[in-house]
């Protein structure tokens, strides 16, 4: 499973990228607002750090405007993925931009039927939002599993990008189901390294190191 990092925090992207944990980046208008920078400027900086797909989201609602915005965003760098919402106009935009040869990430997906439409429209990525479904007492992971089955049934090439990931457990479940990519905030990716038994084991080892005075260097 590829890891995308869901942030515009340059320091966090750089740290994870240096460790080989970043296959791409996703942003959205709320993440850009949090960065306090212009979408063009911050996206350009992210693309100078990360080689894989960097999603930048359009900000209009009509297809002709979204297409123009998408083409402008795509000028930033070769690895730009134009992110469009899963609306009828977003699907039209997806069709046009993917035919132009650009990568397109269709976002705000909350149903298997929406994912089926995005694949038909030529999306490179479909972004089902797990956490936001869980928030309203639905099962986000069930949606990932449904989309996996449908895409496999018909050999759709659209990659399932599990989004709105809130926990390390979400990462494990997405990987078990076979999501192609998971995008998560830096803190969630880091939390994957945590285990209480690792902490306890290391504490015991360090006590023994101190007791014996062992040194390697
Ligand atoms: C994905 O591309 C979205 O930016 C993101 O995962 C949304 O996550 P949230 O529901 O935690 O805002």
Structure tokens at 7: 């942030």
Among all chains, which residue has been given the structure tokens 């759709």?
156
Active site residue 207: no
7 lines ligand 1 (CB under 6 A): no
- Tell me the pLDDT tens digit for each residue of 77-136: 999 999 999 999 999 999 999 999 999 999 999 999 999 999 999 999 999 999 999 999
CATH number (3.20.20.70, 3.40.50.2300, 3.30.2130.30, 3.40.50.300) of 2-212 reads 3.20.20.70
127 lines ligand 1 (CB under 6 A): yes
- Tell me the pLDDT tens digit for each residue of 44-77: 999 999 999 999 999 999 999 999 999 999 999 9
* pLDDT for position 206: 97
161 lines ligand 1 (CB under 6 A): no
Q: To the nearest whole number, what is the mean pLDDT of the chain?
A: 98
- CB of 188 closer than 8 Å to CB of 166: yes
ipTM for the whole predicted complex goes beyond 0.95 = yes
């Amino acid at each position: 499973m590829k890891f995308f990092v869901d942030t515009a925090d340059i320091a966090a992207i750089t740290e994870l990228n240096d460790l080989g944990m970043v296959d791409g980046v996703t942003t959205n208008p709320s993440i850009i607002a949090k960065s306090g920078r212009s979408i063009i400027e911050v996206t350009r900086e992210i693309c100078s750090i990360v080689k894989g797909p960097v999603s930048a989201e359009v900000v209009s609602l009509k297809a002709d405007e979204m297409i123009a915005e998408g083409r402008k965003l795509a000028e930033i760098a070769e690895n730009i993925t134009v992110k469009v919402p899963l609306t009828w106009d977003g699907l039209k935009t997806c069709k046009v931009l993917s035919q132009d040869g650009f990568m397109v990430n269709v976002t705000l997906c909350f149903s298997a039927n929406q994912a089926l439409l995005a694949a038909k429209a030529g999306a490179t990525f479909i972004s089902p939002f797990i956490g936001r479904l869980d928030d309203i007492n639905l099962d986000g992971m069930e949606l990932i599993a449904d989309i996996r089955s449908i895409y496999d049934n018909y050999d759709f090439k659209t990659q399932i990008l599990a989004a709105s990931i809130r926990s390390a457990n979400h990462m494990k479940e997405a990987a078990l189901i076979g999501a192609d990519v998971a995008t998560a905030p830096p803190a969630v990716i880091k939390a994957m390294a945590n285990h209480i038994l690792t902490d306890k084991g290391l504490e015991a080892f360090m006590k023994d190191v101190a007791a014996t005075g062992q040194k390697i260097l």
